[in-house]
Amino acid sequence: MPKLDQAMEYGTIGAWLKKEGERVEKGEVIVEIYVEKATFGIEAERSGYLRKILHEEGETVKVGEAIAYLADSMDEPIPEEKPAEEKAEVVAPPPEAKPEEKVEIKASPRARKLAQELGIDLSRIKGTGPGGRITEKDVLAYAKQLERERREEYELVPLSHIRRVTARRMAESKRSIPHYYVGVEVDASELVKLRRALIPEVEKIAGIKLGYDDLIIKAVALILREFPILNSSYEEDKVKVFSGVNICAAMAIGDELVTPVIRDADKKKISEIARERSELMKKARERKLGVEDLRGGTFTISNVGAFGVDWLAAVINPPQAAILSVASIRDKPVVEEGRVTVRKMMSMVLSVDHRVADGALACKFLTRLKEILENPYILLRDGI
């Protein structure tokens, strides 16, 4: 199982494109691997025959573990295989069975008769009568319990590959990363005006419609230059601070979430970010995201505003140190100089790895982000 990403620990066999015994040429894709939220074809490192498949489709395998053997011929022995005589095991005769001790069940005659009529095993009932004696009432209560259990209908829905990976990584994140959360409300009135003014300009330059995500990605990328400690990951009592600001833009595709990467977002113009995010969204919808589209993210932004959500404390995407969730923009009453006015407000929550940064720094980061989004024209300094 190849290591396709810095954080990858396991991969899932998607589909074998070759069968055991078939000829394989160097560079030919022989198996598809599910990792993170994409599918990758793995090429043969040399020519030969697919001698043995060790893990079938759907199995999850640890990085570095053998999944199959290539050989020069089908007669070549497999390293794990041993001669039949070495595999033989001496099976000890089973111990002589002891006669079972008969346990007397204390129950009233009426309870025994009712249990027999209902087909109930008295040994499964805990008696409430004197000395633990089973009464008719106990049998009736147990019968009602069985009836309730029979009425409970449910469907076991298998998780998709992406959901399985997400479940494992998010559980790992909550177990291993000490999260804390800082939130702030932003007056997005000027942000709304700027986006409205830039939509036709960006359409001329990039051919796509500008989204709020594009402006927020640009703002966060610029601020991460000022707070590089949040553009990092924790590694064994050290913090790895990344030089490149590579923003993972969380995207909902059906019931699943993918996080493709916009690299060097701090160095790109708004129209460039918009075009790249649009292209990644298209690839995600068509299930065509590749390794490079998902590798190397240093900070994640999850905008849940499209779902009408007012607040979200997101789980950090390991091995990153922080994730920002952005909620919907809503008209809300705000007090300004003693007067109540209606402004377009937006909530943001920053989730941070406490091993990397304390609350004061996170508060400063959010305060600075609030300042820029409330005065967003600074985002135009690099051009559109």
pLDDT in tens, 158-193: 777 777 777 888 888 889 999 999 999 999 999 999
Q: What is the tens place of the pLDDT at every residue in 43-59?
A: 888 899 998 899 888 88
User: Token pair for residue 218?
Assistant: 């640009």
Please indicate whether residue 161 is annotated as part of the active site. Answer: no
* Euclidean distance between CA atoms 203 and 384, whole angstroms: 11
Q: What is the tens place of the pLDDT at every residue in 118-157?
A: 889 888 898 898 888 999 999 999 998 888 877 766 677 7
> How many beta carbons lie within 10 A of that of residue 18, not counting itself?
18
Consecutive H or E run containing 324: strand 322-336
The confidence score (pLDDT) of residue 337 equals 87
61/221: higher pLDDT: 221
- The listed range with the strongest mean pLDDT (13-27, 125-139, 216-230) is 216-230
322/253: higher pLDDT: 322
* Euclidean distance between CA atoms 325 and 308, whole angstroms: 13
The confidence score (pLDDT) of residue 90 equals 43
- The secondary structure of residue 5, as a DSSP letter, is S
* Euclidean distance between CA atoms 220 and 370, whole angstroms: 10
Indicate the residue type of 225: R
H helices of the chain, in order, are: 84-87, 109-118, 136-151, 161-176, 189-206, 212-226, 270-285, 291-294, 359-374
Least confident segment among 6-10, 90-94, 180-184, 225-229? 90-94
Find the Cα–Cα–Cα–Cα dihedral 199, 306, 300, 357, rounded to 10°: 110
Q: How confident is the model at residue 205 (pLDDT cuts 50, 70, 90)?
A: very high
- The listed range with the strongest mean pLDDT (25-39, 165-179, 300-314) is 300-314
Of the candidates 376, 381, 2, 4, the one whose C-alpha atom is nearest the C-alpha of residue 188 is: 376
The confidence score (pLDDT) of residue 241 equals 97
> What proportion of the chain, given as a percentage, has pLDDT over 70?
91
User: DSSP for 166-223?
Assistant: HHHHHHHHHHHS-EEEEEEEEE-HHHHHHHHHHHHHHHHHHSS---HHHHHHHHHHHH
Residues 55, 161, 179, 354: which is the catalytic one? Answer: 354
C-beta of residue 40 within 8 angstroms of C-beta of residue 290: yes
Q: Which residues contact 215 (CB under 8 A, 6 or more apart)?
A: 191, 194, 195, 270, 373, 376, 379
User: Token pair for residue 224?
Assistant: 């991460």
Q: What is the tens place of the pLDDT at every residue in 314-362?
A: 999 999 999 999 999 999 999 988 999 999 999 999 999 999 999 999 9
Q: What is the tens place of the pLDDT at every residue in 57-114?
A: 888 888 889 999 998 888 888 876 444 344 434 444 455 555 555 567 888 888 998 9
Mind listing the domains of the chain with CATH numbers? 10-74 (2.40.50.100), 178-382 (3.30.559.10)
Whole-number mean pLDDT of the chain?
Answer: 88
Indicate the residue type of 316: I
Mean pLDDT of 17-42: 83
Mean pLDDT of 302-322: 92
C-beta of residue 139 within 8 angstroms of C-beta of residue 114: yes
The confidence score (pLDDT) of residue 6 equals 63
Q: What is the CA radius of gyration of the chain?
A: 30
Indicate the residue type of 72: D
